[in-house]
Each structure stands twice: as C-alpha cells, then as structure tokens.
C-alpha cells in the first residue's frame, strides 16, 4: 500500500514539475525582459528628480570623473536618466533588442567604474566588505547575466522545458 501511494505521489509530483517547467520556459524570458525594463525605467526616472535617487551623488561624481569634468552632474544625470529609461522601454517593447542590450552594456561600464575610480566609496574593507553603494553596483552582475540570456533569444533562441522534444 505504501509503495503504491509513494509511486502515485511521485507521478503527480513529476506531472506538476513538468507543467511548471513548461510554464517557466514559455514565460521566463518575457518576465525577465519586463523586470529588467522596470528596473531601468524606475531607476532612470528617479534620476530626473533631484534628490530622489539614492545613486545620484555617486552617478554624478562618476560622470564628472569619466568626462574629466567636461560634463557636470547637472548635465550628465538627466542624460543618464534618459539613457536608462530608453533601455527600460527597449526591454518592454522588444524592438531593436540588440541595440537595447548594447546600451545596457555601455551603461554598465559606467556603473562599474566606481570600483576602480572611487574604491573608498565602494568598499568598507577591501576587497570583500561592500558599502551600500558597492552593493548597489555589484547587484548589477545579475542584470548583466539577464541581458546575456535575453540576448541569446533575440535571433530565435528559446528556452525548452524538455530539450529532447
């Protein structure tokens, strides 16, 4: 009796697991694009309102350093804000996805540059203890990986729940 019940439960589990896996394969990339788009639109839009973004000071200082003071934070932050919003909208609409991902990677160069340019702002104790700003930067490793996965589907690549099918 117990082995029969166990076998039946295992069969139900496999059926449910396969259904969930098919759902994830079908909607995962879409949800990844929307969530990355939301992050970029939200964080970009905050930079349009002085004092609203927790990254405002760091982004402004970084822009000034990267441009050797030619572009001030007052000019660079709105440009960065629009750039980030364009990335987000690009993720939402799915047109020109390769260009959108290129924009994302260019933005990430600037995002990660404080690690080299402003290590005292990024690290409390080098190399492992990050400040809040450092954590804000490092979490973007996930965004970069997400863009890789999204990019792999641009030319028709797909996730398959069962690669044998």
Confidence band for 98, pLDDT divided at 50, 70 and 90: very high
Cα–Cα dist 150/30, whole Å: 9
Decide if 123 contacts 130 (C-beta within 8 A).
yes
Is the pLDDT at 34 greater than 90, yes or no?
yes
Mean of pLDDT values over 100-113: 97
pLDDT at 42: 97
Bridge partners of 129? 125
Is the pLDDT at 92 greater than 60, yes or no?
yes
pLDDT at 123: 94
Q: Please state the φ and ψ torsions of residue 124, each to the nearest 5 degrees.
A: -90, -35
Decide if 137 contacts 115 (C-beta within 8 A).
yes
Is the pLDDT at 165 greater than 60, yes or no?
no
Domain ranges of the chain: 14-151
Cα–Cα dist 144/132, whole Å: 19
Mean of pLDDT values over 19-37: 93
Cα–Cα dist 145/104, whole Å: 11
């Amino acid at each position: 009796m117990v082995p029969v019940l166990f076998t039946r439960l295992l069969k139900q589990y496999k059926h449910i697991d396969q259904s969930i896996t098919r759902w994830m394969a079908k909607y995962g990339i879409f949800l990844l694009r929307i969530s990355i788009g939301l992050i970029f639109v939200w964080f970009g839009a905050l930079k349009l309102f002085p004092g609203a973004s927790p990254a405002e000071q760091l982004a402004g200082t970084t822009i000034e350093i990267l441009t050797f003071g030619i572009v001030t934070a007052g000019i660079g932050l709105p440009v960065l804000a629009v750039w980030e919003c364009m990335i987000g909208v690009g993720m939402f609409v799915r047109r020109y996805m390769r260009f959108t991902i290129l924009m994302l990677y260019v933005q990430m160069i600037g995002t990660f540059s404080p690690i080299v340019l402003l290590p005292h702002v990024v690290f409390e104790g080098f190399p492992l203890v990050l400040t809040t700003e450092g954590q804000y930067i490092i979490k973007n490793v996930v965004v970069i990986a997400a863009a890789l996965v999204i990019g792999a589907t641009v030319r028709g690549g797909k996730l398959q729940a069962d690669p044998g099918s």
